[in-house]
Structure 1
Amino acid sequence: MKYLVLTCILIFTLLQINAQQKISTREMNRINWMEFAEYVPGNINSVLLPTGTLEPHGVINNGADNTAPEAMALAIADDLNALIAPTLNYGITGSMAAFPGAFQITEEAYRPFIKDILRGLAKNGFKNIIILNGHGGGQTKVLQEVAAEVATELGVRTLVLNWWSFASDVTLEVFKEDGGHAGLNETAYIQAIDPTLVHKEKYSADMATAYPATGTWSASPFPSSIGLYKEGQGYPNFDQAQAHEYFKKVNAKVSAFIQEIIKKWDLAGL
């Protein structure tokens, strides 16, 4: 029995290596349907779904919440032996929806739409559906609820991950202080992806406001396009070397965590 288990593990590992070596692309937007059928679900049963929105982000691009998880998916897909679903670029923007270039999708429209996307991924053979979410607020709650519903309904395994909060320890490690929305950490992550999306010449510290402590005050729209998690911390520093360090360490942490969750699902026989 012991040798049978070891043989099965070896075969599964070789299948994964074979898929990683031969598949032409990890992106579902680019793959041909016949190649998709060749690899899913036999050799690949995990998919990464980047989700975000369009809203102001200080001196980085309005689509930073899409750019970040999409780049993250591209960086870690090989390690996870996963395909990458097309990014869902529009979301529940919330308190910054009034800023120029922002888009707001209502929960009533977003909830069934994201649910059908997850159902579609399950229908196509994916067992592990990993949502790399780039935008927080009410969107996080909806994604978590819908993902749990689909997991129960269809017997798949879902994970919703907000990268910036999950990697808050990496922010402290690299920068020695906390970050913020469009602040030190998010600006650095985007700078590592594409420095042309960062407009340092437009930056002013006056663009930032610390988020209120619970129950103290509330403003709608939020008065600044940079929201600091802690008063006096998280202002962008535009350090390219730190940006690259941060990008690599965040991706490594996220990849390792997803691998660990999938391993535990497997061990539990779920």
Structure 2
Amino acid sequence: MRLEELTWPDFEEVKRRVGTVVIPVGSVEAHGKHLPLGTDVFAPVEIARRVEERLRRRGVEVLTAPPVWYGHTFVLDVYPGTINVSGDAFKAYVREIMREFAAEGFRRIVLLNGHGGNYPPLVLAAEEVSEEFPGVEIWLINWWIDFREDILSICSSQGHAGQDETSVMLAVRPELVKMENARGGRRSSRVRVIRKDIGKELFPDGVNDDPSLATAEKGEAILSVVSEKIARLLVGE
């Protein structure tokens, strides 16, 4: 069920029988010259859709909320089209969204995150909400990290705008992918360096991996295994 498609009486009835709400969270930021700025939202929205579909087959209902589009993306803010929200503002915004769902009676809130920079603010927001609502359980799922082993059994590498993300986008929104511009390589630092322009070093052209081997078939396999594993976790399998 999509929250935005319900009337308020529909919602009132749904929340009596549904205890879990899934909130896709992402960012609007540069993803190389080949992927759309909304990649980090398109992926978790599609995963959420597939999770709901799999749960429905098991006779389990969840509510899927509209995505949080803008995120905290300090490092990639060096590239045009990246819309960075400060960590404090992002934390406060997502916290208020979760507070509302908790106040409505949902006992489990799943943050289905598609962007690495969101992770620290999301943890803090979840901690604050759980302090206020002791009976509420918040799950923070970072799909590309939490299922890394599964993804690397499909792709030979993964990274920002890399083989895994590009494959997923080829499966989800192929018309938005420009594979003729898909190039890049791995960059890393021995320690975490925080500097305003560090993104140009770690993410040349907004990429940190080689996306050239991406395929829609790999993307479909990633989406399938990740959504199935999340669905199993939600039903306790």
TM-score by length of 1: 0.78
Deviates more, 1:121-130 or 1:209-218: 209-218
Q: 1:256 aligns with which of 210, 232, 235?
A: 232
User: In the alignment, is residue 120 of structure 1 matched against residue 100 of structure 2?
Assistant: yes
Tell me the C-alpha RMSD between the 2 structures.
Answer: 2.0
**Per-residue deviation, residues 34-67 of structure 1 (Å, max 9, x unmatched):** 1111121x21110001111111112111111111
Q: Which residue of 2 aligns with 1:211?
A: 188
Q: Which residue of 2 aligns with 1:227?
A: 208
Change (3 A) 1:242 1:107: closer
Matched-pair contact (CA < 8 Å) for 2:88–2:121: no
Matched-pair contact (CA < 8 Å) for 1:50–1:66: yes
User: In the alignment, is residue 28 of structure 1 matched against residue 3 of structure 2?
Assistant: yes
SS at match of 2:63: strand
Q: Which residue of 2 aligns with 1:8?
A: none
- Tell me which of the two structures has the higher relative contact order, counting C-alpha pairs closer than 8 angstroms and 6 or more residues apart: 2
**Per-residue deviation, residues 38-97 of structure 1 (Å, max 9, x unmatched):** 121x21110001111111112111111111111111111241521111111011111111
SS at match of 1:227: coil
Matched-pair contact (CA < 8 Å) for 2:168–2:216: no
Q: 1:56 aligns with which of 30, 48, 55?
A: 30
Query: Alignment identity in percent?
Result: 26
User: In the alignment, is residue 154 of structure 1 matched against residue 128 of structure 2?
Assistant: no
Structure of greater Rg: 1
Number of aligned residue pairs? 226
Q: Structure 2 unaligned segments of length 5 or more: list them.
A: none
Letter in 1 for 2:168: Y
Deviation of the 1:174 alpha carbon: 1.1
Matched-pair contact (CA < 8 Å) for 1:48–1:77: no
Superposed counterparts of 1:1-270, under 5 Å: 26-40=1-15, 42-58=16-32, 59-78=34-53, 79=55, 81-137=61-117, 139-155=118-134, 156-175=136-155, 177-205=156-184, 208-214=185-191, 220-223=197-200, 224=204, 225-228=206-209, 234-260=210-236
Q: Structure 1 unaligned segments of length 5 or more: list them.
A: 1-25, 229-233, 264-270
Q: After TM superposition, where is structure 1 displaced by more than 3 Å over at least 4 residues in a row? A: 215-219
